[in-house]
Amino acid sequence: MNVINIDLGDRTYEILVGENIDLVQSLNGIVSDFRVAVIVTNVIVAGYHLDRVRNSLARIFEDVRVIELPDGESHKSWDSLNNIFNSLLSWQCDRKTTLFALGGGVVGDLTGFAAATYMRGIPFVQLPTTLLAQVDSSVGGKTAINHPLGKNMIGAFYQPQLVICDFCTLSTLPDRELRAGLAEVIKYGPIADIAFMEWLEQNLNAVMAKEAAALAHVVQRSCEIKAWVVSKDEKESGLRAILNFGHTFGHAIEAGMGYGVWLHGEGVSAGMVMAAELSRRLGLVDADFVRRLISLIQLAGLPTKGPVLDANDNAGRYLELMRIDKKAEAGEIRFVVIDGPGRALVRSAPDSLVREVIDACCE
Q: Residue 226 catalytic?
A: yes
| Binding of a second copy by 247 (CB under 8 A) | no
Active-site option among 226, 280, 327, 334: 226
Among the listed residues 35, 59, 176, 232, the single contact to a second copy using CB under 8 A: 35
- Please tell me the distance from the alpha carbon of residue 85 to that of residue 158, in angstroms, as a whole number: 17
Phi, psi (deg, nearest 5) at residue 31: -95, 135
Among the listed residues 43, 89, 213, 308, the single contact to a second copy using CB under 8 A: 89
Among the listed residues 28, 29, 32, 92, the single contact to a second copy using CB under 8 A: 92
- Please tell me the distance from the alpha carbon of residue 53 to that of residue 62, in angstroms, as a whole number: 14
Per CB under 8 A, contacts with a second copy among 186-215 are none
Among the listed residues 34, 85, 199, 228, the single contact to a second copy using CB under 8 A: 85
Neighbours of 355 (CB within 10 A): 16
| Binding of a second copy by 32 (CB under 8 A) | no
Nearer to a second copy, 9 or 283 (CB): 9
Active-site option among 49, 54, 76, 142: 142
Among the listed residues 13, 118, 245, 262, the single contact to a second copy using CB under 8 A: 118
DSSP 200: H
Q: Residue 236 catalytic?
A: yes
CB of 123 to a second copy, least distance (A): 12
CB of 155 to a second copy, least distance (A): 5
Burial string for 22-36 (b: 16+ CB within 10 Å, else e) reads ebeebbeeebeeeeb
Q: Residue 240 catalytic?
A: yes
Active-site option among 234, 244, 292, 327: 244
- The CB-based long-range contact list for 331-336 (8 Å cut-off, 24+ gap) reads 333/248, 334/241, 334/248, 335/248, 335/275, 335/278, 336/191, 336/241, 336/242, 336/244, 336/245, 336/246, 336/247, 336/248, 336/275
Query: What letter represents residue 24's amino acid?
Result: V
For a second copy (CB under 8 A), the number of binding residues is 38
Among the listed residues 28, 32, 90, 312, the single contact to a second copy using CB under 8 A: 90
- Please tell me the distance from the alpha carbon of residue 282 to that of residue 349, in angstroms, as a whole number: 8
| Binding of a second copy by 355 (CB under 8 A) | no
Among the listed residues 29, 312, 330, 352, the single contact to a second copy using CB under 8 A: 330
Cβ partners under 8 Å of residue 42, min gap 6: 68, 69, 70, 71, 72, 75, 103, 106, 107
CB of 109 to a second copy, least distance (A): 11
Q: Residue 247 catalytic?
A: yes
Nearer to a second copy, 120 or 283 (CB): 120
DSSP 307: P
Give the count of alpha carbons within 13 A of 239, CB side only: 12
Nearer to a second copy, 94 or 351 (CB): 94
| Binding of a second copy by 343 (CB under 8 A) | no
Q: What is the CA radius of gyration of the chain?
A: 20
| Binding of a second copy by 30 (CB under 8 A) | no
| Binding of a second copy by 331 (CB under 8 A) | yes
What CA dihedral angle connects 120, 226, 298 and 342, to 10 degrees? 140
Handedness of CA 209, 229, 192, 142 (dihedral sign): positive
List active site positions.
120, 142, 184, 226, 236, 240, 244, 247, 251, 264
Residues forming contacts to a second copy in the complex (CB under 8 A) are 35, 78, 82, 85-86, 89-90, 92, 94-96, 116-121, 142-144, 147, 149-150, 152-157, 235-236, 323-324, 326, 328-331
